[in-house]
Amino acid sequence: MTIQAVPVPAPSTRRRARRIPVVPLLGGAALLAVLVCVVSGAALAPQDPTAQHPTLSVTGPGPGHPLGTDQLGRDVLSQLIAGARSAVIGPLAVAVGCVLIGVAAGMAAAYFGGVVDTVVNRFADLVYALPALLIAVVVVGVLGGGYWKTAAVLLVLTIPFEIRLCRSAAQVQVRQPYVDAARTLGLSPWRILFRHVLPNIVPTVLATFLLDFVGALISFAALSYLGLGVPAGTPDWGSMLAAGQQLITENPWLSIAPAVLIIITAASATLLGDWAHERLSRGGERA
């Protein structure tokens, strides 16, 4: 015999007349536009971004060239669109790698503690102690560039941040009784981590993913500005910025446009991550 609990309807989650989240919407739209450029690449560009027109060397905005041309007469707008791919793909790869490794290492450190925690933490400390961008410049400069080699170096340099944040988020969760309950059921540690702990630290993971992306985006741009990372001749925001610097009086757009794009992309990702983190963690609260 059991006493029947009277079934009650799930409490209706009343929401206040919802305000349109303007900032994240704008950020999302900007990121989406950038992503479209990344996927389509040069195909979306009004002109061939590599086509040179020596007669049109460094002209300001005009018919056919809304943002003017560069030294070799290439269309700036087309170059920007084509350059999105190299500017974004690398940072994206860095962020994905960071999350995959950082989440696993951070959760393991929080859950197992002891030696695992010490090893993971000392690694993080070690990398923290290095002057990140300087190391990147030295490694890429000495060993010779290569786009993916740059990405790998940035990955190693960014991981500690991800590890630290995931570890602290997971530490809160592994002390919760539901983790104890999972342990008493005899579940394996990795199952507990990925099935029970991970869903509860998703807000943090998502936010740090976007922050990692922003960090890598700026580092990549900085490196290609210095002439590292991206092979010469490939359209890229960072290298355009460098090239446009000398020609700032002839066609300011050549340097302003890529700079603005970098800023917009980075700011959008940050704001979107912030908003998502807040929303997700609010949803996880007790009713």
**Which stretches of the chain bind other proteins, using CB under 8 A?**
1-8, 10-11, 14, 16-17, 176-178, 180-187, 195-196, 199-200, 202, 284-287
Q: What CA–CA distance (Å, rounded) separates 235 from 83?
A: 5
Q: Are 82 and 95 in contact (CB under 8 A)?
A: no
Q: How far is the CB of 193 from other proteins (least distance, A)?
A: 12
Candidates 1, 80, 12, 99; CA nearest to 239 is: 80
Q: How far is the CB of 53 from other proteins (least distance, A)?
A: 57
Comparing CB distances to other proteins, the nearer of 34 and 197 is 197
The first and second tokens of residue 171, run together, are: 């530490």
Distance between alpha carbon 63 and the CA centroid of its chain, in Å?
A: 36
Comparing CB distances to other proteins, the nearer of 149 and 183 is 183
Comparing CB distances to other proteins, the nearer of 7 and 233 is 7
Comparing CB distances to other proteins, the nearer of 131 and 284 is 284
Provide φ and ψ at 255, rounded to 5°. -100, -30
Q: How far is the CB of 7 from other proteins (least distance, A)?
A: 4
Q: Are 58 and 67 in contact (CB under 8 A)?
A: no
Q: What CA–CA distance (Å, rounded) separates 252 from 209?
A: 33
Amino acid at 135: I
Q: How far is the CB of 10 from other proteins (least distance, A)?
A: 4
Candidates 221, 215, 267; CA nearest to 86 is: 221
Q: Are 213 and 92 in contact (CB under 8 A)?
A: yes
Q: How far is the CB of 286 from other proteins (least distance, A)?
A: 6
Comparing CB distances to other proteins, the nearer of 2 and 55 is 2
Comparing CB distances to other proteins, the nearer of 129 and 285 is 285
Comparing CB distances to other proteins, the nearer of 139 and 205 is 205
Q: What CA–CA distance (Å, rounded) separates 262 from 260?
A: 5
The first and second tokens of residue 41, run together, are: 């690449």
Q: How far is the CB of 1 from other proteins (least distance, A)?
A: 5
Angle CA 43–44–45, to nearest 5: 95
Q: What CA–CA distance (Å, rounded) separates 199 from 203?
A: 9
- The CA R_g of the chain, rounded to the nearest whole Å, is 24
Q: How far is the CB of 104 from other proteins (least distance, A)?
A: 19
Comparing CB distances to other proteins, the nearer of 126 and 191 is 191
Q: How far is the CB of 182 from other proteins (least distance, A)?
A: 8
